[in-house]
Amino acid sequence: MSDSEEDSQDRQLKFVVIGDGACGKTSIATRFAQEAFGKQYKQTIGLDFFLKRISLPGNVNVTLQVWDIGGQTLGGKMLDKYVYGTPLWSCCIMQ
């Protein structure tokens, strides 16, 4: 293993996007993670997630998990499971 591999730091961050149905959550998540907008979207049932890997100065590699939670899930029993371990500041609430 080279020195640069030993010095690299890998991090994971989880972001949750929640909000009313059809308010643009999937559009935002897709644009951020895949750098593209889709022309058509299907309603998100339950949840979908995207990954984006970035490299930061100081040889820090970060994997961002973007969780796109369907609007109908907001009142459901699983919401607390989806946001578990996510700091409140990393939740994007859209209306």
Q: Is residue 3 domain-resident?
A: no
Q: Which pLDDT belongs to residue 59?
A: 92
Give domain status of residue 89, yes or no.
Answer: yes
* Cα 24 to Cα 11, 54, 57, 77, 79, distances in angstroms: 27, 24, 31, 23, 19
Its pTM stands at 0.76
**Residue 84: inside a domain:** yes
Does residue 23 belong to any structural domain of this protein? Answer: yes
CATH number of the domain to which 41 belongs: 3.40.50.300
Q: Give the end-to-end CA distance of the chain in Å, rounded to a whole number.
A: 48
Output the tens digit of pLDDT for each of the chain's 95 residues: 455 555 668 999 998 888 888 888 999 999 999 999 888 888 998 899 999 999 999 999 999 999 998 887 777 777 787 887 777 655 555 65
- Report the number of distinct structural domains present in the chain: 1
Q: What is the pLDDT of residue 50?
A: 95
Q: What domain range includes position 55?
A: 9-63+72-93
4 lies in some domain? no
